[in-house]
Amino acid sequence: MDDTDTKAERTRRRILDAAAHEFAVHGYGGASLRRIAAAAELKVGSLYFHFKTKDDLVGAALADGVESARLQLVAGLRAVPADATPQQRLRAAIRSHLDALHASDDRATAVVRMVDTLPPNLRAAHSTSERRFGRVWLDILRKGQIDGSVRPDVNARVLRDIVVGALNSTSSANPNTLKDLAQFADTLATLVAPPPAAIPSGRR
């Protein structure tokens, strides 16, 4: 709808993709507009037609990255068959998050690599979309505590921070073999799941 496929729109996309990669590799402070422009097949000056300033581009990349991860998360959940068990839903969420970081482009990774070194103004602007993303995970875990896929004896918010923190920490792992990530996902799901005894009869 707003996705009018104008030339500018397409160039902007190319820039954002190139920027995501640059930010993912070099972080906020180490990123170079020169390299971003080159990767987007533009001259540096041309970037400024699309983004007023470097921080403007950073802001756009952050929003883009979080939104991309959020969409991947909800899409992953929506793809779970209706008759799936709550456990399967939880695992789908974990898998989606990991996929956003490892199996897709660099948009989500860029966010993880930039957040801790952002200057205050950018951090503030970013926190809004970050919160929105956090709410999705909070929902997942809270519902899980109700439907029995998540242990109910811990604060959901804190649990969310642990889960998301652990997931994001995989971003710096070297070329993760799929197997490693799968095991990571499994283990995390196990930790989050209610302890066996607490699981109502039918579960075993």
Is 99:171 a contact under the CB 8 Å cutoff?
Answer: no
Dist. CA 12–CA 6, nearest whole Å = 10
And the tokens for 162? 């642990």
Q: State the binding partner of 142 from DNA, its own copies, none, CB within 5 to 8 A by kind.
A: none
Residue 49: Cβ within 10 Å count:
12
Total residues at the site for DNA (CB under 7 A)?
23
Is 22:105 a contact under the CB 8 Å cutoff?
Answer: no
Among 2, 45, 155, 197, binds DNA (CB under 7 A): 45
Within residues 50-109, the interface with DNA by CB under 7 A covers 50, 52-55
Give the residue with the Cβ less far from DNA, 46 or 190. Answer: 46
Is 117 a residue that touches its own copies (CB under 8 A)? yes
Give the residue with the Cβ less far from DNA, 45 or 200. Answer: 45
Dist. CA 111–CA 69, nearest whole Å = 10
In whole angstroms, the minimum distance from the beta carbon of 120 to DNA comes to 16
Is 7 a residue that touches DNA (CB under 7 A)? yes
Residue 10: Cβ within 10 Å count:
10
Is 165 a residue that touches its own copies (CB under 8 A)? yes
Interface with DNA (CB under 7 A): 6-9, 11, 31-35, 42-50, 52-55
